[in-house]
Amino acid sequence: MVLPDLCLERNREKTDIEYINLDLDLKPVFKGKKYFLRTYGCQMNVHDSEEIKYYLENLGYDACDTLEDADIVVLNTCAIRENAKDKVYGYLGRCKHLKSLKKDLIICLAGCLMQEPHEIENIRQNHPYIDIIVGTHNLYDLPKLIAKASGKQNIEVYSNSDKVYENIRYSRDSKISAWINIAYGCDKFCTYCIVPYTRGRERSRKMENILEEVKYLKNHGYLEVTLLGQNVNAYGKDLNLGYDFAILLEEVAKIGIARIRFVTSHPWNFTDQMIDVIAKYPNIMPYIHLPIQSGSDDILKKMNRKYTIEEYKELFNKIKKKIKNVSVTTDIIVGFPGETEEDFQKTLDIVEYCKYDGAYTFIYSKRVGTSAAKMPDPTPMSEKEERLRRLNEVVNKYSLMNNQKLLNKEVEVLVTGESEKGSNKVCGYTDTFKLVNIEGNKDLIGKIVKVKIIDAKSFSLDGIALPEEVKN
């Protein structure tokens, strides 16, 4: 079923949510064949790829790291910025060439880019060698579509979703830290953002199912979970069952898993109750990602962000005051349509005020179908690039300053894998989500380790493990 001609505004429709228990009977009919999976975009896409891996592996496919070895290629796409789309189409050139050499190769496109009708039409007209197109709302259709692959392009994309599927299975990338979806979609409709159109309306999972997933992971040795949603702190508002994100967070904490994180938060929905719960439970990590997007009230209004800079500061100050040792990171867009030098200076001012531990910074990217795409945008790209450079200079200054505060301190680090910084090094994250490269052997992986910090950079720390302090 493909709905390429439906208006993107369909995602605004409010209908009853149907909860469905997914029950797929997968048989390993492709034993001996290999899959190549490439993921673009955010944590939600990464977690979606864990679902895709489950389907492929239970159909009998084995993973491979080399495109040329694959019998099926799946690109899980992102639509949030133009460069993410460009990377996908650039990589498709390699896939097309490979298909000319391997006629039986199956090429599949999944993810957010596939939720845009004009992109589907582009693929239909200009990329007929692609076999399967599947959207964000129905990844569970992938096994069926693979079984039906016959050289004819097969498209299964739903324009909107009023369903929440439970009992989704994953082949997780880690046996230490796990993502858990708590909600899908977003109702905020920030004027620059394509997410409400590609991910649909806000839909919360039932709390009892989330808690069961946390318990399962804890019982299987996981030390950390990250509660995941486009706007996690709006969780539960659509359910009208008497609970919200603060209540969910507290119930997850009571299960006793060692570390709990969540992303991403919208300042508009960040309540005092949330702050109190985070401050109360030591297994809820003192790390908050709190997007500001701009320091100008005028630009925030054009973005439809629904808060002012003073309101954001008030929230920021509460978080800093109530949550011990908290680190706060943010997202910032420069060059939004109509942004003046004065507006940009106000963005630099809020960074100077908050002194963030880090920030993801971007130049505004026009997305077809969003309100901002219709706004006049007279600022030349060269000026936007210069603003980004100036912004990053300030962001990196405070990131380094905050990291240097940890020099010669002992911190607890969850060791998640081998470091890219050399042999006999592993890496992991502090409670405040700072990356630490550690002098130590692989035996530390999967443990929470006491580490002495010996060097600080803008984006990472170096440390030495103190073996006597290792905690299981």
pLDDT digits (tens, 9 = 90+) for 308-331: 999 999 999 999 999 999 999 999
Q: pTM to 2 decimals?
A: 0.93
Residue 9 pLDDT > 70: no
Whether residue 97 contacts residue 60, with contact meaning beta carbons closer than 8 Å, is answered with no
Average pLDDT over residues 67-95: 95
Whether residue 186 contacts residue 44, with contact meaning beta carbons closer than 8 Å, is answered with no
pLDDT of the residue at 440: 86
Whether residue 131 contacts residue 106, with contact meaning beta carbons closer than 8 Å, is answered with yes
- The class of domain 8-160 in CATH terms is alpha beta
Residue 456 pLDDT > 60: yes
Residue 7 pLDDT > 80: no
Average pLDDT over residues 393-414: 98
Average pLDDT of the chain, as a whole number: 93
Of the pLDDT bands very low, low, confident and very high (cuts 50, 70, 90), residue 371 is very high
Q: What is the pLDDT of residues 115-157, one digit of tens each?
A: 998 999 999 999 999 999 999 999 999 999 999 998 889 999 9
**Out of 217-221, 409-413, 419-423, which region has the weakest mean confidence (pLDDT)?**
419-423
Please state the length of the chain. 472
Round to whole Å and give the CA distance between 355 and 204. Answer: 33
pLDDT of the residue at 270: 96
> Which residues of the chain does CATH 3.40.50.12160 include?
8-160
Instruction: Please give the full DSSP string across 420-445, using - where no structure is assigned.
Output: TT-TTEEEEEETT--EEEEE--GGGT
Rg (CA), the chain: 23
Residue 469 pLDDT > 90: no
Residue 345 pLDDT > 60: yes
Average pLDDT over residues 105-121: 94
Q: How many CA atoms lie within 13 A of 20 on its CB side?
A: 14
Average pLDDT over residues 229-242: 93
Pairing of strands 358-363, 425-430: unpaired
pLDDT of the residue at 151: 81
Cα dihedral 338, 339, 340, 341 in deg (nearest 10) = -160
pLDDT of the residue at 16: 79
Q: 410-469 architecture in CATH?
A: Beta Barrel (2.40)
- The class of domain 164-404 in CATH terms is alpha beta
pLDDT of the residue at 262: 98
Round to whole Å and give the CA distance between 460 and 260. Answer: 21
Residue 1 pLDDT > 70: no
Q: What percent of the chain has pLDDT over 70?
A: 96
pLDDT of the residue at 106: 97
Residue 4 pLDDT > 70: no
> Which residues of the chain does CATH 2.40.50.140 include?
410-469
Helices marked H in 220-335: 245-255, 272-280, 297-303, 309-322
